Amino acid sequence: MRASRGSLASFLAVVGLLLGAVLGLPGPSRAAGAQLPCDIYAGAGTPCVAAHSTVRALFSSYDGPLYRVTRASDGAGADIGLLAPGGYADAGRQDTFCADTTCAITKIYDQSARHNDLTPGPAGTSGMGADRGADAAEIAVTAGGHKAYGVWISPGVGYRYTGAASGVAVGGSAEGAYMVASGTHVGSACCFDYGNAESTPADTGNGHMDAVSLATTCYFAPCTGPGPWVEADLENGMFQGDNGSNTANRGNNSTFVTAVLKNDGQTRYALKGADAQSGGLTTWWDGALPGRGGYRPMHQEGGIILGTGGDNSNWNMGTFFEGVMVSGYPSDATENAVQANIVSVGYSGETNIPNGPQGTITGPGGKCVDVAADDTGTDGAAVQLWDCQSWAEDQHWTHNADGSLSTIGRCLDVDGNGSANGTEVELWDCNGVGGQKWVQQADGSLLNPQSGRCLDSPNGATGNGTRLRIWDCNGSAAQKFRLG
C-alpha cells in the first residue's frame, strides 16, 4: 500500500527526531509536526495535567507564556514567552526587560489548560519562612540551539500550587512525572522535589506525597556511590526501592538528568533516570510500593511543589529546566519516546555554576564576600568573608547600574544608612539609599560615596565569618575587594 502524504511526513518527522537525538544537532525554534512530551503522553492515554518549563513548550500547540519575571528596580513584571508556537523561550525578552537590574522568577505557568501555575510557596510547618523566587538570570543554557534560562534553586527558593491542583492525582490514583534537572548542582538536604505534595505546606503523613527527587540524600542506607540518585519522595522518606534502600540504584550525575517517577497509587511504583543529552532511560526500580504503613495505598492530596519538600523544607539546591505530571500510569514505551524527545532538544552548557551577570567579590585572604545563613539571608543578615563556593548563590553579586551590589534579591547595605567608622554592613531590601552605593576604585577598594569610607575587613582578618564594615580608605590589604 502506498503511503499517504501525511504518513510520509510523519515518517520523516520521526526520522529527523531520531537523527537529532543521535547526532545531538540543535533544532529550529520548533520542528514542524514534531510531537513534544505532552503530545506523546496524550497519544498514549496518559495526558499531562501539569507542564512547567522555563526553556521550551511541552505541547506542540502551546503559544502562551512560560514564566513571569519581576524587576527588583521597580517591581514591574513581564511574561516570557516563546520564539514560535511549540518552540523555545524568548530569552532575549528577559534580557531586555531585566537590563541594568535583577529579576526574579515569580510565576511558572502551567502549559496545560488546567492553569496549575506555580508561584513562590508560603511558609510551612518545617519552620522555614515563605519561599522567594529564583534569580531569573542565575543559570543560562542552550536548548534547541537557543539561549534559555533554568530555575536555579538555592536554600530559600521554591514554588508551589497550594490546594488540590486540577486533574492531579489524589487518594491513591495513578500518576507519572518527569523532570529535567542538573546532576551537578545537587545537595543532600531536604528537598529538591517536583511533583505531588500536600495541599497545604504541612507533613500530613506517610503516602501523602508522590514527587520525583534528584539529590545526594541517602535517606535509607546503604546507597551505592555518591549520587545524586533519582528517588521518590513519598513523605517521610526518600525511597529508592521497596522499603527505601536499593543498592542497584547507581545514580545519575550527568550535567543534565532526566528523572522519572510513576506510581499506580496502590501497590507499585517505578523510578528511572537518564542523561538528558544522550541515550535511553535506565530503570532503577520497578516493583512494590513501600511496605511501611501508609504507602499501600497512597494518599496523595494533589498539591504541586518544585524545589522544596511537602512541608516547605527548602534547604536543598538544584536546577530545574522542565517537567510534567500526567494522569494514569505511563507505559515504558511512552517514557522512552519522551526521553528521545528530550535528547533531541540538545541541552548544553554548565549547570553547576551561576553564569548570569553576577560575579564574586573576592576580598582579603582570597575569601569571598558572603551572606550568613546559607543563601537564605533576610533583612539585617550579616555580610562576611567565607571560603569561596562556586554554587553559593549568596556569593554571586550583581553590580547594578545605580551602583548597588545585590544578591538573593537584596542589596549590600551600611547598617542604618550610617557613615561612621566601624559601621557594619548587612543585607537589606534594595531601596536606593546612599548606604547601598559602591564604586570600585583604582586601588582595588570599594568606596561608599555617601560616607566617604571603604568596605573593610577589621584589622585585615581573613577568617571565615569575619563581619565586614566601613572604614577610612587607607589602601591596605584589608580593603582590597575585587569584583569578578
Q: Give me the residues paired with residue 368 across strands.
A: 362, 386
Phi, psi of 296 (to 5 degrees): -130, 95
Contact 154, 375 (CB under 8 A): yes
Closest by CA position to 26, among listed 167, 145, 118, 115? 145
Active-site entry in 39, 131, 175, 311: 311
DSSP secondary structure of 91-156: HHHHHHHTTTS-EEEEEE---STT---BEEPPP-TTS----BPPBTTS-EEEETTEEEE-EEE-TT
- 472 is annotated as an active-site residue: no
**In Å, what is the CA distance from 172 to each residue of 256, 296, 422?**
31, 8, 60
CA–CA distance, 260 with 284 (Å, rounded to integer) = 10
Residue 88: DSSP 8-state:
B
- 311 is annotated as an active-site residue: yes
Contact 423, 472 (CB under 8 A): no
CA–CA distance, 411 with 432 (Å, rounded to integer) = 9
SS3 256: strand
Active-site entry in 138, 235, 413, 426: 235
Backbone CA torsion sign across 111, 150, 108, 209:
positive
Sheet holding 383-386, edge to edge: 383-386, 368-371, 361-362, 482-483
Contact 479, 473 (CB under 8 A): yes
Containing H/E element for 38? helix 37-43
For the CA atoms of 409, 410, 411, 416, the dihedral, rounded to the nearest 10 degrees, stands at: 170
Q: Which residues are catalytic?
A: 235, 311
